[in-house]
Copies of this chain bind each other. A is one copy, B any other.
Amino acid sequence: MHNQLEQFASDNYSGICPQALEYMLKANEGSAPAYGNDEWTQKATDYFRELFEIDCEVFFAFNGTAANSLSLAALCQSYHSVICHETSHIETDECGAPEFASNGSKLLLAKGENGKLTAQAIESLVTKRTDIHYPKPKVISITQATEVGTLYSLDELAAIKETARKHNLKIHMDGARFANAVAAMNKTPAEISWKSGVDVLCFCGTKNGMALGEAIIFFNKALAEDFDYRCKQAGQLASKMRFISAPWLGLLETGAWLKNARHANQCAEYLENKLISIDGVEMMFPREANAVFAKLPEHTIKILKEKGWQFYTFIGVGGVRFVSSWNTTQSRIDELVNDIKDSI
């Protein structure tokens, strides 16, 4: 009854969107120089500079774990540390990739409401230890949108920027759902990245509709020195690079990157509105991007799973996550909502 299309597990369960695919197919005509020395890569790179309204350095990596860990490694040495939220992907879901890529940097974990770091929490971690027996903080990593589907406001970003400058910290932004953030906030990409103090952004293409591929964007160009060597050494330089850069160009040139994100956000909003009105469903976090976190009765969760719905659960707390993506449909949301209503 429910085929895979009905999943709400993750935006990485979705396939390739039409625009990304179209450009991939175009790029497949004929041969092209390897390792990024092709026209698609040049064009995509330039497009990012235009989109972000700044002369930035752009690199491509295969996935988000690589993009995050290599860019963090570029910002600190093995004896430095990275301040991040305790729910951040780099801490909870990358199997120690940041520690590996940097040869040992420690992640310093902060708590914070709605999955967000605060200037105070950062300050507290920075000043807690200042002796050589503990890794020296060098980077703040923030995720926009966060792992719990919330957004850092411009004010919150400004406060973090100030703290970063005060303590000479670099700012890394995990943009696994950066497009969703842009779409939701109605701000320009520049405003919520480098204008807010971000030194390097990992802009995720996979969750936005590509087969795979991340853009690592250094606004602070000095930090990008020899970063191409780093990517190569870490096994992140695609020989047939055009199959990553062309789909990126497809997303950017056609505007699909924003359209996909907006669609996913709207689907989540639609679902949120439906859920709020159901007795027995409780929202866990403000829904601000394309993910809805809610508490459902255990028996409801059980029934949904039996019916084939796919979504993540948080053991013991009755929490579930429903993520929408570029190919989520309203009718499927309605079906999900009906199944919830029927089983609550």
Interface pair A15/B28, CB less than 8 Å apart: yes
Which of A30, A61, A207, A235 counts the most chain B CB atoms within 10 A? A235
CA distance A10 to B243 in the complex (A): 16
Stoichiometry (number of copies):
4
The answer to whether B104 and A99 touch across the interface, beta carbons within 8 angstroms, is yes
Restricting to A47-99, which residues have a CB under 8 Å from any CB of B?
Answer: 61-67, 69-70, 77-81, 92-97, 99
Expressed in whole angstroms, the Cα–Cα distance for A68 and B315 within the complex equals: 34
Q: Return A284 CB to nearest CB of chain B, in Å.
A: 19
**Residues of chain B with a CB closer than 8 A to A21's CB:** 25, 28
Of the candidates B3, B6, B30, which one forms a contact with A5 in the assembled complex, judged by CB atoms under 8 Å apart? B30
- Which residues of B lie under 8 Å from residue A93 when comparing CB positions? 133-134
Min Cβ gap A314→B in Å is 12
Q: Which of B12, B226, B243, B327 contacts A80 (CB 8 A)?
A: B226
Is the beta-carbon distance between B132 and A235 smaller than 8 angstroms? no
Is the pair A226, B79 in contact by a Cβ cutoff of 8 Å? yes
Interface residues of A in 172-205 (CB under 8 A from B): none
Indicate which residue in B32, B61, B99, B229 contacts A132 across the interface (CB closer than 8 Å).
B229
Query: Residues of A at under 8 Å CB distance from B?
Result: 3-7, 9-10, 12-16, 21, 24-25, 27-35, 61-67, 69-70, 77-81, 92-97, 99-101, 103-106, 132-136, 206-207, 211-212, 226, 228-230, 232-240, 243, 310, 327
11 contacts between A and B (CB under 8 A): A15-B27, A24-B211, A31-B327, A66-B234, A66-B236, A78-B96, A79-B100, A95-B232, A99-B99, A104-B104, A132-B229
The 10 closest A-B pairs by CB, nearest first: A66-B235, A100-B104, A99-B104, A79-B229, A12-B239, A211-B243, A103-B103, A4-B31, A62-B62, A15-B28
